A = this chain, B = another copy of it.
Amino acid sequence: MGQETTRRSSAIPNEGHGAVSSVEKALRLLSTFSLASPQWALSDLAREHGIPKSTAHNLLKTLQAFDLVRQDPEDRVYRLGPRALEMGFLYARSTELLGQARPHLRRLAERSRETVKLGILSDSEVLIVAAVESTHQLHTRGDIGTRWPLHSTGLGKAILSALPLAEAEALARRRGLAALTKQTATSWPKLRAELAATRERGYAMDREENEAGVRCVAAAFVDPLRGAVAAVSVSGPSVRLSDAELAILGQEAVAVARAIRPHPHWEEL
By a beta-carbon cutoff of 8 Å, the part of chain A in contact with chain B is 7, 10, 13-20, 22-24, 26-27, 30-31, 33-35, 38-39, 57-59, 61-68, 70-74, 79-95, 120, 122-123, 127, 129, 143-145, 147, 225-228
Contacts and interface: CB of A to CB of B under 8 A. Distances in A.
B90 A87 contact: no
A67 B147 contact: no
A71 B34 CA distance: 26
Nearest to A37: B94
A200 to B, nearest CB: 28
A74 B38 contact: no
A136 to B, nearest CB: 23
A89 B57 contact: no
17 contacts: A14-B61, A19-B65, A23-B63, A27-B62, A31-B66, A33-B94, A38-B94, A70-B226, A80-B94, A81-B91, A84-B88, A84-B91, A85-B144, A86-B127, A86-B145, A88-B88, A88-B89
A67 to B, nearest CB: 5
A26 B20 contact: yes
Nearest to A19: B62
Given A13-B65, A81-B91, A84-B90, 20 more contacts: A18-B57, A19-B61, A22-B22, A23-B23, A26-B26, A27-B66, A38-B94, A74-B227, A79-B94, A80-B87, A80-B91, A80-B94, A83-B127, A84-B84, A84-B87, A85-B127, A88-B91, A88-B92, A88-B145, A89-B143
A82 B127 contact: yes
Given A66-B31, A88-B89, A89-B88, A82 B23 contact: no
B19 A20 contact: no
A87 B32 CA distance: 11
A143 B7 CA distance: 38
Contact of A16 (B62, B86, B147): B62
Contact of A73 (B39, B72, B227): B227
Given A82-B91, A88-B91, A89-B144, A65 B16 contact: yes
Given A23-B23, A35-B90, A122 B63 contact: no
A81 B82 CA distance: 17
Most chain B CB inside 10 Å of its own CB: which residue of A15, A64, A89: A89
A114 to B, nearest CB: 22
B82 A122 contact: yes
